[in-house]
Structure 1
Amino acid sequence: MICFSENHSLTLPEMETGDIKKVIDVWQQQYEELGNLDYINHVQIFENKGQMMGCSNPHPHGQIWAQSSIPSIVSKTQDNLKKYADKNGRSLLEDYVKQELEADERIILENEDFVAFVPFWAVWPYETMIVSKRKIENLLQFSEAEKLSLASIIKDLTTKYDNLFEIPFPYSAGIHQSPTDGEPHPEWHFHMHFYPPLLRNAEVKKFMVGYEMLAEPQRDITPEQSAEVLKGLSLVHYKSK
């Protein structure tokens, strides 16, 4: 467990960018330390924010799980990234980010090193991704400037989430990056997912049940609609207005 701040009342959007970078520094250190263990092949960094997402401790924090196996979702992502790289000689996400930037339909935020957007396959309302513009396989390849850029876009994105319904917006977020199994993984491209459950207001939650679990998830809002809403929100936190 990683506490984000000594002030346990602060969440990521309320923290200073430099202090969020300190959290990223810890992510980087733990990814390296745990990944260097011979029996650790995957390091999963994630955050559950809010009681609605199963957060049992009131102070803002994230978690890191390290394991010997590569989880099925990560393994599937890796297989698809590798198939594309082997066929095209390029990173799938690098090409995808280029297309999203050219289309400019689902882009929420952009800075020098990262872009945040609603993926075209989004299932959760207001689901987003942060992807590095440079093809970076994992946190260890980040420069100090890139870590600061990541901190900045995380702060801005989570501020928009809070401003959406003017509440501490719940979500599950996590980083996908190359495994630590000692093998080369040129196919990997760093990205971070945000899965928020709220749909129309602070009380209405999207549930994945019945048909959505057994057949196919249903979209309650299109990626373009959610991108338009999020893009139009202020970067000044609602508590500071």
Structure 2
Amino acid sequence: MADGRDLIYYVDTEGPTEILEDARDISPVIPASVARYDALVGEWVGIAGHRQTRTYLPPANQCPLCPTTPEFETEMPSPDYDVTVFENRFPSFAPIGASTAPEPLGADALFMEIPGNGRCEVVCFTSNHTALVSDLNPVRIGTVIQAWADRTEALGHIPGLEQVFCFINQGAEIGVTLAHPHGQIYGYPFVTPKTAAMVRHADDYRARTGGNLFGDILDREIADGSRIVASNEHWVAFVPFAARWPVEVSIYPRRQVPDLPATNAAERLTLAAIYLEVMHRMEGVFDDTMPAITAWHQAPVNVGREEFWLHMQILSIRRAPGKLKYLAGSESGMGAFVNDITPESAAQRLRDVVLTPTESGAQA
């Protein structure tokens, strides 16, 4: 790109030739990210003050993720595209170049800071500005999955990166700042708090029982059946036993793999179908918008890979038409979630949604 960032094309249709030269005159944004250690809870917090100037809800004719036109130059120099991945111009984490070893900022280790070394990428799913993820066909979702897997593999080889996170924020209520259908990939210089907790509990469970925590949970969900939403040969979708969100689904592969690069072609093909089915079911629960987050839980790069079990989490803050689930006092102050909808009734609502044959890609 004109400022030195990478742009990668993924092609699944007969479209126009990709333009490989970005003709814009733009200056690079100088990232100033750091990560600071919260000694009270043992977690790292990213600080990225340079992101205050990032693009915020531009009009459709000035969307930076749409193809470039004679009237407006964007991040996409081609007149059309299928799927693209590029480095975020306003990254939360970026290659800073300094050591990633924690350095005390005082006489003791209470205040520790590391450079915000990492990588943040944007994944654009289509050139169609108004499309939803659920509007995409299985072939396109398969291309997105391939991009996720490729980039997870690539980022995992960058020195200093400890975890790769692929995710999608969808809907203004979630806080999306660009309406164009897209997702993001973060390469963190630390293992995130939720993943670190999973690794600890999986190791403890193995020591206590000899079993795999993720696999035993999956087996129990299948045996119980009350929270199963959809399934196919390679994947099972269910509402977690202790779901935190009003509409929340986990999608697990039937075999243990640590991350997306470890999945095979058949698993990726059937993943596209079940993911779209779950999205359609979630959208059918309420006659309203469905603000949602898709989050891939993958094994860290260097630790915990033996026990970890790849899975996708899809959640929505929609709890009723016109009503959202807010992270208020208990959730934000104490980290203690209270869900107003039982997981069993949420699963039944999802199963009750009537889908067209093209929307239903898996057998519930």
Answer whether TM exceeds 0.5 for this pair: yes
Q: Is the 8 A contact 2:156 2:164 kept in 1?
A: yes
**Per-residue CA distance 1:112-164 (angstroms, 9 max, x = gap):** 11111110111210111111111111111111010011111110000111222
**Per-residue CA distance 1:48-90 (angstroms, 9 max, x = gap):** 1001001111111100010221111111111112222333333
- Given candidates 230, 236, 240, the residue that maps to 2:350 is 230
Q: Report the 3-state secondary structure (helix = DSSP H, G, I; strand = E; otherwise coil) of the residue aligned with 1:173.
A: strand
Q: Which residue of 2 aligns with 1:56?
A: 177
2: CA distance, partners of 1:60 / 1:81? 35
Are 1:20 and 2:141 counterparts?
yes
Identical amino acids, percent of aligned pairs:
29
Q: Report the 3-state secondary structure (helix = DSSP H, G, I; strand = E; otherwise coil) of the residue aligned with 1:199.
A: strand
Q: Which residue of 2 aligns with 1:164?
A: 285
Q: Is the 8 A contact 1:40 1:66 kept in 2?
A: yes
Q: Is the 8 A contact 2:199 2:304 kept in 1?
A: no
Greater per-residue helix proportion: 1
Q: Which residue of 2 aligns with 1:100?
A: 221
* Higher RCO structure (Cα 8 Å, ≥6 apart): 1
Letter in 2 for 1:194: I
2: CA distance, partners of 1:77 / 1:131? 15
Q: Report the 3-state secondary structure (helix = DSSP H, G, I; strand = E; otherwise coil) of the residue aligned with 1:57.
A: coil
Letter in 2 for 1:125: P
Q: Tell me how many residue pairs correspond in the alignment.
A: 237
Q: Which residue of 2 aligns with 1:117?
A: 238
Q: Which residue of 1 aligns with 2:317?
A: 197
Q: Which residue of 1 aligns with 2:247?
A: 126
Letter in 1 for 2:162: N
RMSD across aligned positions (CA)? 1.9
Are 1:88 and 2:185 counterparts?
no
Equivalences for residues 133-152 of structure 1 within 5 A: 133-152=254-273
1: CA distance, partners of 2:320 / 2:133? 23
Q: Report the 3-state secondary structure (helix = DSSP H, G, I; strand = E; otherwise coil) of the residue aligned with 2:313.
A: strand
Are 1:153 and 2:278 counterparts?
no
Aligned-residue offset at 1:168? 4.5
Larger Rg: 2
Q: Is the 8 A contact 1:44 1:65 kept in 2?
A: yes
Are 1:213 and 2:332 counterparts?
yes
Q: Is the 8 A contact 1:173 1:194 kept in 2?
A: yes
Deviates more, 1:121-130 or 1:162-171: 162-171
Deviates more, 1:167-176 or 1:33-42: 167-176
Deviates more, 1:65-74 or 1:159-168: 159-168
**Per-residue CA distance 1:6-64 (angstroms, 9 max, x = gap):** 22322221111111010000000100111111211111111110010011111111000
- Given candidates 33, 43, 46, the residue that maps to 2:154 is 33
Q: Which runs of 5+ in 2 are unaligned?
A: 1-121, 360-364
- Given candidates 161, 181, 186, the residue that maps to 1:65 is 186
Q: Is the 8 A contact 1:129 1:193 kept in 2?
A: yes
1: CA distance, partners of 2:127 / 2:195? 32
Greater per-residue strand proportion: 2
Q: Report the 3-state secondary structure (helix = DSSP H, G, I; strand = E; otherwise coil) of the residue aligned with 1:127.
A: strand
Q: Normalising by the residue count of structure 2, what TM-score does the alignment of the two structures yield?
A: 0.62
Are 1:46 and 2:167 counterparts?
yes
Letter in 2 for 1:148: L
Q: Which runs of 5+ in 1 are unaligned?
A: none
Aligned-residue offset at 1:173? 1.7
Aligned-residue offset at 1:210? 1.9
Letter in 2 for 1:207: Y
Aligned-residue offset at 1:94? 1.1
Q: Is the 8 A contact 1:4 1:11 kept in 2?
A: no
